[in-house]
Chain A
Amino acid sequence: MLEQLTLGRYIPGHSWLHRLDPRAKLVLACYFIVIAFLTTNWLTYVLMFAFIGGVIFLTGLSFSYFVRGIGPLIWLIVFTAILQLLFTPGGHIYWHWGILMITSTGIQTSTAVFLRFLLIITMATVLTLTTAPLAIADGVEALLRPLRVIHFPVAQTALMLSVALRFVPTLLDEAQTIMNAQRARGVEFNNGGLIKRLRAIVPLLIPLFVGAIGRADDLATAMESRGYQGATNRTRYRVLKWHNADTIAVVVILVLNVVLVVLRHM
């Protein structure tokens, strides 16, 4: 079940997107997420979904893989959208019960929430699927570097990030193992009401935390014994290089932005 989740996984490959500079990809993904909020009418949504469709095509991974990968998250998105739907006042009221209501504004906002959420998660998935965790950390470090002026601990932040990203798959595997062990002891993770499901999480989370803390401790010991003393003035082994392709990608997203703004007003 967990292994279906694609957000946060990296699939090595040689597609055009894989080869983009991580700085470019980070900026573009963030930029895309911000302009996802500029969507208003159906034309803008068509544009954005067409764009993300093209991006998925460029990853070289199958479309159905994305659909299934985002599957486990769809409930989170639906849940958020339903909350929006039930609690947004305004416009024509179709139905109401106590503080719950369905209004025309509610339908509009919840649809927008749903579609934007989908766009954002798909983009984030594309980013992590095509960018090695270490490359993401390098990209973040490079982008944050200007903040050193205000004494922001850039190197430490990047290190924290790379360690965190490095352990995502490990923790997912471990969660799977613990889930199996508890299922064998009669826990049902996919059965019963909300309370029962929440209670089933405890025997999963506690061993997971215990394991993660132990692992962090081991890692700290290993780093100290290899002479790590805060990352001051380290030179780097992987040097990032900006290529023409990166410039083209930036231009493409700027064009997208312009078209989006035009469509907004149609």
Chain B
Amino acid sequence: MAITFDHVNYMYQPNSPFEAVGLSDVSFTVPSESFTAIIGHTGSGKSTLVQHLNGLLKPTSGTVTVDDFQLTAKTTNKHLKSLHQHVGMVFQFPENQLFDQTVERDIAFGPLNFGFTNEEAMSLAHQAAHDVGLPDELLNRSPFELSGGQMRRVAIAGVLASQPRVLVLDEPTAGLDPRGRAEMMAMFAKLKADQQLTVILVTHQMDDVADYADQALVMAHSNLIKAGTPAEIFANPEWVKAQQLALPTAANFAQHLVTRGFEFDSLPLTAEQLAIQLRGQLPKEGR
């Protein structure tokens, strides 16, 4: 069980003056229950790629496989509903999708659409609200009265409530303050561990890639230009910069230390790896 893209091409508005390439010959495989980061500059095709995962877009040619589901240009919309449930999508600025009168009902909206009974939907909604850290007293408030961070949690709960097995996150922390961002990433890591989810994260935060991802896909100009573990992706800092990407903070810091005479066996990507490698190199008596 896994996610596979096999020579996937996607064309926006073909045969019109607005025709644009969305994806060009993208192939990769992601194992189940792994954490995959998708990085690349704006307009490189990240959002286009992830919208194929639950059939919002269908490949113009090629095949997308998600666990038991197969998606090609010929797949009809009738077969997509169970895929929508299987793959939960958190869009950029997901708070823009809130509409119902209470937080509880908004979260239960997905489960109700996917055929759960009213009781089941409410209990799933409460569970999801709990999972994203929303206090119970907010459940009967209007979603439009909440703070931006709370609204985003409601929207994420609204996706989780349908019990997806794959969770796709398209820049879920954009516009949050650093603390909100850290909390949200920790929340996703916990959700993944508790519910054995496969997580696909689109992000511009290289620290999140280093801290959480098992592997990363690098997109540029609608092409997949590199796939590998974070260590493989960041191994060549010159290449990373050429792709208009950044290094994780720890790796950046380590590079500066190298110019001051420190030596590293491999480029540390996280604060922890950096600390371990520095341990032996620091003078015993700090000045």
Contacts and interface: CB of A to CB of B under 8 A. Distances in A.
Nearest to A182: B97
Given A11-B17, A210-B144, A184 B77 contact: no
Interface in B1-48: 12-13, 15-18
Contact of B96 (A61, A64, A68, A181): A181
B97 A181 contact: yes
B20 to A, nearest CB: 11
Interface string A179-204: 01111111110110000000000110
Contacts, number: 73
A7 B158 CA distance: 34
Nearest to B97: A181
Contacts of B100: 203
B267 interface: no
B113 A180 contact: no
A65 interface: yes
Most chain B Cβ neighbours within 10 Å, of A62, A186, A191, A203: A186
Contact of B77 (A182, A191, A202): A191
* Chain A, interface SS category: helix
B262 interface: no
B17 A65 contact: yes
A203 B99 contact: yes
Nearest to B101: A206
B85 interface: yes
B59 interface: no
B172 interface: no
Nearest to A68: B16
Given A177-B91, A180-B56, A203-B109, A185 B97 contact: yes
A184 B100 CA distance: 16
Contact of B113 (A4, A61, A178, A186): A186
Contact of A186 (B15, B51, B110): B110
A186 B81 contact: yes
A211 interface: yes
A185 B158 contact: yes
A186 B54 CA distance: 11
A184 B113 contact: no
Given A186-B162, A206-B99, A210-B144, A181 B15 contact: no
A185 B98 CA distance: 11
Contacts of B54: 184
Contacts of A206: 99
In which size bucket is the chain A interface? 20 to 34
Interface string A38-72: 00000000000000000000000110110010000
Contacts of A178: 96-97
Contact of A190 (B77, B94, B162): B77
B49 interface: no
B18 A183 contact: no
A249 B177 CA distance: 57
A185 B99 contact: no
A174 B78 CA distance: 25
Contact of B94 (A4, A181, A186): A181
A202 B77 CA distance: 21
Nearest to B98: A207
A185 B91 contact: no
A40 B91 CA distance: 53
Contact of A184 (B18, B99, B159): B159
A202 B101 CA distance: 12
30 contacts: A3-B18, A4-B13, A61-B17, A62-B15, A65-B16, A65-B17, A174-B96, A177-B91, A177-B96, A178-B96, A180-B51, A181-B97, A183-B84, A184-B56, A184-B88, A184-B159, A185-B158, A185-B159, A186-B81, A186-B85, A188-B81, A190-B77, A191-B77, A191-B78, A203-B99, A203-B100, A203-B109, A206-B99, A207-B99, A210-B144
7 A-B pairs with least C-beta separation:
A186-B113, A206-B99, A181-B97, A185-B110, A184-B89, A186-B114, A203-B99
Interface of B: 12-13, 15-18, 51, 54, 56, 77-78, 81, 84-85, 88-89, 91, 94, 96-100, 109-110, 112-114, 144, 158-159, 162
